[in-house]
Amino acid sequence: MPSQVFEQPGLRTVLPGRTDEADLGVSYEFSVYAHCGGRYATFDSRSWDAGHDPFDARGSLGHVAGVMTLVAEDLARFETGGVVVDYHPLIGPSPLCA
């Protein structure tokens, strides 16, 4: 099933649960599932790892909205409210949140 993409100047929105091939340097409206800390994300049809939990992992958060940018083929950057989180490709699927 093709992705449903909505374009605005400088931003493209991909509906939740859909994947899309990201263009380098383009910022996409994106939400990180932060219930378990937000260490892992799925973006550009790939799994990504921040290497740490950038958000409070006490279970009070669901999704954190912001923008994700494919900065390089091996670097995706999530930005929200002054917080910047760099993600690197993960080999294999993201672990499940317990």
pLDDT by residue (tens digit) across 9-66? 444 444 444 446 888 999 998 988 887 788 999 898 888 999 998 987 665 567 888 9
Q: How many domains would you assign to the chain?
A: 1
Check if the beta carbon of residue 47 is closer than 8 Å to that of residue 40: yes
Answer whether residue 6 shows pLDDT above 70: no
Q: Does residue 41 belong to any structural domain of this protein?
A: yes
Give the residue numbers spanning the domain of 33.
5-89
Q: Does residue 73 belong to any structural domain of this protein?
A: yes
Q: Does residue 98 belong to any structural domain of this protein?
A: no
At 57 the pLDDT is 61
Check if the beta carbon of residue 46 is closer than 8 Å to that of residue 40: no
User: The whole model's pTM is what?
Assistant: 0.75
Q: Does residue 46 belong to any structural domain of this protein?
A: yes
How many other CB atoms are found less than 10 A from the CB of residue 70?
21
At 96 the pLDDT is 77
Q: Does residue 9 belong to any structural domain of this protein?
A: yes
